[in-house]
């Protein structure tokens, strides 16, 4: 069974669906028309460019080039994670880059070797799509985990300093915050795992069924990839928090305030009475 093609006209019909949220936005002044247009345009452009480049990579299927592409994805994921939290790049980028690379590459390579049993470990058709799924999901977990961890420390700094003053070691004082943020980071992934099949059909499974695979084979792939996603999210979030602590806290266990971005204050305009 071949996957039916989507011609340009059909794709235009798909874009016409956007009239629904845009109309709602206009009617209730939701102010998402511009951001929707920009986001959809960026997505379309980026995906078509990536599709063209991946066609070249898949045809060439060079192991080192495939790995380089995946490392570029890791680099981008690290940058995106830090950009989406109120933290500066300087102190966090390198430790988070290493943490992302170690966690995600080890899970992807393990998956290709022992679950899929591939003859060619760096096969482009498997390495890049599976790496992208695992990396994308662990990115979301890290945005919640890293952002929540440092925001929690800033919000409860007095309590943290009090624990230090009572003689707690740095990691002892930080452990409650690490636990809390890891639970928050993993909650969406665990919810997806618990409801897969009953509430929604995951993307990989849907894609394989549309591609003609039997539902049972698609299920086996989906179970395997969701376990891999969960493991990589746990590993990368834990590694990112633990590795960044080395650069964001001084030798006395105090948080370096310069890691936080200065929040822009909104100007308030008041009306003066006459």
∠ at Cα 138 (134, 142), nearest 5°?
170
Q: What are phi and psi of 20, to 5 degrees?
A: -65, -60
pLDDT at 3 over 80: no
More confident residue, 150 or 5: 150
Residues 6 or more apart in contact with residue 249 via CB below 8 angstroms: 170, 255, 256
Question: How much is the pLDDT for 91?
Answer: 87
* CA dihedral (238, 243, 244, 250) positive or negative: positive
> Does the pTM of the predicted model rise above 0.75?
yes
For residues 82 and 96, give the distance between their C-alpha atoms in angstroms, rounded to a whole number. Answer: 9
Mean of all residue pLDDT scores within the chain: 89
- Residue 271's pLDDT band, with cuts at 50, 70 and 90, is very low
For residue 215, the model assigns a pLDDT of 86
Q: Distance (Å, rounded) from C-alpha 140 to C-alpha 150?
A: 16
**224 closest CA partner among 135, 147, 114:** 114
Alpha helices in the chain (DSSP H): 8-16, 19-28, 33-60, 63-83, 89-110, 124-155, 157-165, 170-195, 203-210, 215-248
d(CA 131, CA 68): 12
State the pLDDT at residue 262. 77
Arithmetic mean of pLDDT, 180-184: 95
Q: What is the pLDDT of residue 200?
A: 66
pLDDT at site 1: 55
Query: Would you list the DSSP string of 152-219?
Result: HHHHTHHHHHHHHHTT--HHHHHHHHHHHHHHHHHHHHHHHHHHBTTTB--HHHHHHHHTT--HHHHH
Residue 258 scores a pLDDT above 60:
yes
How large is the average pLDDT for residues 83-97?
92
φ, ψ for residue 87 (rounded to 5)?
Answer: -135, 155
pLDDT score for 113: 95
Query: Rounded to the nearest 5°, which phi and psi values hold at 31?
Result: 60, 45
pLDDT at 267 over 70: no
Contact predicate 227/179, CB 8 Å: no
pLDDT band at 263 (very low <50, low <70, confident <90, very high): low
d(CA 202, CA 207): 9
The pLDDT value recorded for residue 86 is: 84
User: What pLDDT was estimated at residue 265?
Assistant: 44
Residue 266 pLDDT class (50, 70, 90 cuts): very low
């Amino acid at each position: 069974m071949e996957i039916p093609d989507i011609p340009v006209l059909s794709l235009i019909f798909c874009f016409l669906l956007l009239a629904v949220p845009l109309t709602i936005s206009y009617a209730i002044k939701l102010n998402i028309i511009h951001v929707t247009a920009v986001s959809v345009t960026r997505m379309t452009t980026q995906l078509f460019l990536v599709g063209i480049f991946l066609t070249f990579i898949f045809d060439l299927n060079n192991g080192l080039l495939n790995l380089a592409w995946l490392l570029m994805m890791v680099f981008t994921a690290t940058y995106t994670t830090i950009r989406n939290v109120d933290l500066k790049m300087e102190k966090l980028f390198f430790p988070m880059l290493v943490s992302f690379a170690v966690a995600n590459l080890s899970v992807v390579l393990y998956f290709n070797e022992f679950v899929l049993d591939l003859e060619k470990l760096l096969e482009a058709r498997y390495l890049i799509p599976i790496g992208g799924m695992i990396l994308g999901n662990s990115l979301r977990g890290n945005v919640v985990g890293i952002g929540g961890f440092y925001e929690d420390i800033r919000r409860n700094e007095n309590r943290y300093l009090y624990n230090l003053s009572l003689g707690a070691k740095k990691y002892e004082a930080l452990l409650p915050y690490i636990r809390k943020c890891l639970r928050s980071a993993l909650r969406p992934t665990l919810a997806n795992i618990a409801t897969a099949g009953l509430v929604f059909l995951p993307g990989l499974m849907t894609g394989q069924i549309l591609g003609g695979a039997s539902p049972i084979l698609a299920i086996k792939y989906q179970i395997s990839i969701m376990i891999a996603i969960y493991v990589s999210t746990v590993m990368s979030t834990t590694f990112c928090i633990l590795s960044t602590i080395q650069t964001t806290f001084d030798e006395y266990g105090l948080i370096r305030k310069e890691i936080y971005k200065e929040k822009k204050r909104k100007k308030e305009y008041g009306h003066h009475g006459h």
